[in-house]
Structure 1
Amino acid sequence: MNSHNQPRVSIGIPVYNGERYLALALDSILAQTLPDFEIIISDNASTDSTQMICERYADQDSRIRYYRAPENRGPGWNLQRVAELATGEYFKWQAHDDLLDPNFLEKCVEVLDRDPSVVLCHCYTSHVDDQGSVYSVNTTPCHTDSHCPSERFRAWMKIKQDYVGCEIFGVIRKQVLDAAPPLGCYAHADVIFVGLLSQFGRFYRIPEPLFMFRIHAEQSMQTIRDHQRRRRFKLPFRGPLPATEWWDPSKKGQPDLPTWRLYGLYGRFFAKHPMQLRDRLLCYLALLERLILSKDLLRLGIDILLAVETMLTPTPSSRTHRSTEKKTEPAKML
């Protein structure tokens, strides 16, 4: 810890039934060359050995704080919780099944210390399988490093559907995180949050694969099958994956309009956020350009069809929904 007992970095790990990979993730954090950090683990009422693993690590290292919820409230709530509990100068979300290179924190903090215009520092992403073997590295540029806020937002709006960026897992200034709108509990929440965060400052990407994003068969994409089986009319549209009910189980069976929400949230934010008129207009223009040039006009209609279908589909009351808080790919601009 530093002389003021405030850690340089808070690392928040929301987890649910993470026994298979959690210890590996914790080991990769504890091996960091920058030792001045805290780890906040929020356990969403796991039913496997997650609690035992967390308590063992917390007993061995005073930098680890472990919290356990009495019931599973969904990953959206849990992601917010670890951010609220953080006390560090910088903050990082960490999925329980991802890994970090030993130099990840040191190099990200070095960038943030050096350049106050940077609010988020991330890096190239290695995609690894369930055994931790690297099979690809994402180096696709996203151009969110401009000093102009409207250019950053325009670049974020242009990311491709197959872009698997992991900006959400970068290191963020905690002061900016507190000032920004909170990460929501709905489909595309991470994408919307990063887009909003781009209006507070630049993103910097270290050109090294220091972050390992694990892709495996137990990810949350699989949890939507029950939802699809309940669909009444079997429309040829899948909606966002993972669905809003994955983010917040209390919304199970409720109609959702994710594309409408995306444009509405961005629109209201730009109306209130302090920015130059030119940037405000250019941000709105970027939204309009995306609406026209992408498939979002079609998705606005699909949202309505899926919402009507949801309202006409009975929700089973005999079972209590248990959100499987296992990580998916960062939500894409679908």
Structure 2
Amino acid sequence: MLVSIGLPVYNGADVMEGVVRSVLAQQYGDVELVISDNASTDSTEELCRGLAAQDSRISYHRQPENLGMLRNFDYAIQVAKGDVFRWIGDDDRLDPTYATKCVDAFTADPRLLMVTTQISYTDTRDGVVRTQRYEEANPGFGLGSDDPAERVTELLRLLNESYLIIDPLYGMVRREPVAAMTRRNMPREDQVFATRLAMAGPWEHINEVLAERHWDIKHRGKLARRLGVPTWKGYCSTLLQCRETLFWAHAQVEDGTLTAEQYRQIRSAVRALYVRRHRQTAVRRVRKVTRMAVGRS
């Protein structure tokens, strides 16, 4: 089973050599690293070409112009050759046993669409490292369930609870069915995509820290600009996420993949996510106003 690791990068020359070494240090023997350079303007190209010349497992692709973040991510999975695939950030790391343990999980359970692992996150603001184990709310009815509605309900619970528990965008997936999914450039597209992955097949989670990421929490307006979408969409991201999720769920009802009852369950879970996020936003605003008022007194 060939494992492809996709590294989308833009101006990452100062940080990316470490992640490349991390991928090449995998104990699993059949690995390729696909680097998709989004028309970098620093020395990324020179670094990558030098690394590729040293190791035949590296496949380097330079875009003639900047494709935008999402299209560059998608390019990596499209040109990869592996049976399974994982994206990785330009300042991330993988444990040497990562690929072996994920492949073992896929081999043991042919149902699986994705294998996720526990990840440690370094907050770029304060340097604090955080991680959190995943515990199913209802054992047997979580992400490994054969019922897509149960999987989606569990995923939306996790997305609302804590970003530390699971990061679906950085799990290992079966490449062909995931590469066939079309994606829309929008705020919180990663969470919409994760929900579609939950609709598409069962997951397994390995409760062991096998990857490291640097976490940069971006303001919604700034994130929208980075994605190349209107700033107002950043401020309506929860509404847009919920609408997009239900669009794809309804499409699966129409093609017979989901039943009407499963769609109703998913719609209920989406509604719960929407309500909870708006409550969280209201609480944050009240706290902010309170701090401002106390500061003036």
TM-score normalised by L of structure 1: 0.73
Contact 1:187 1:241 in 2 (8 A): no
Contact 2:6 2:77 in 1 (8 A): yes
Residue 167 (structure 1) aligned with residue 168 (structure 2): yes
Contact 1:128 1:213 in 2 (8 A): yes
Which whole-Å deviations, capped at 9, do the CAs of 1:271-307 have from their partners, x for residues lacking one? 12112332122112212233344417989xxxxxxxx
Q: Between the two proteins, what is the percent identity of the paired residues?
A: 27
CA distance in structure 1 between the aligned counterparts of 2:261 and 2:157, rounded to whole angstroms: 19
Q: What is the alpha-carbon root mean square deviation over aligned residues? A: 2.6
Residue 275 (structure 1) aligned with residue 258 (structure 2): yes
Residue 102 (structure 1) aligned with residue 101 (structure 2): no
Query: 1:48-197 residue pairs with structure 2 within 5 A?
Result: 48-128=42-122, 135-141=129-135, 143-159=142-158, 160=160, 162-164=162-164, 165-179=166-180, 181-197=181-197
Residue 33 (structure 1) aligned with residue 27 (structure 2): yes
Note closer, same or farther for the CA distance 1:93–1:183 as it changes in structure 2 (3 Å cut).
farther
Which whole-Å deviations, capped at 9, do the CAs of 1:114-146 have from their partners, x for residues lacking one? 10221110111122477xx98332214364222
Contact 1:16 1:46 in 2 (8 A): yes
- Out of 253, 262, 285, the residue aligned to residue 241 of structure 2 is 262
Which whole-Å deviations, capped at 9, do the CAs of 1:137-186 have from their partners, x for residues lacking one? 2214364222321111111222335423322111101132034x334322
Aligned to 1:328: none
| Structure 1 spans left out of the alignment, 5+ residues | 1-6, 225-239, 300-334
Q: Which moved more, 1:65-74 or 1:77-86?
A: 65-74
Aligned to 2:270: 287
Which whole-Å deviations, capped at 9, do the CAs of 1:243-273 have from their partners, x for residues lacking one? 22212x3x35676643332122112211121
Contact 2:52 2:58 in 1 (8 A): yes
The one-letter code of the counterpart of 1:59 is A
Q: SS state of the match for residue 295, structure 1?
A: helix
CA shift for structure 1 position 45: 1.5
Query: 1:192-271 residue pairs with structure 2 within 5 A?
Result: 192-215=192-215, 219=216, 221=218, 240=220, 242-247=222-227, 249=228, 251=229, 257-271=236-250
Number of aligned residues = 269
Which has a greater percent of helix? 2
Q: SS state of the match for residue 192, structure 2?
A: helix
CA shift for structure 1 position 51: 1.0
CA distance in structure 1 between the aligned counterparts of 2:131 and 2:280, rounded to whole angstroms: 32
Contact 2:4 2:81 in 1 (8 A): yes
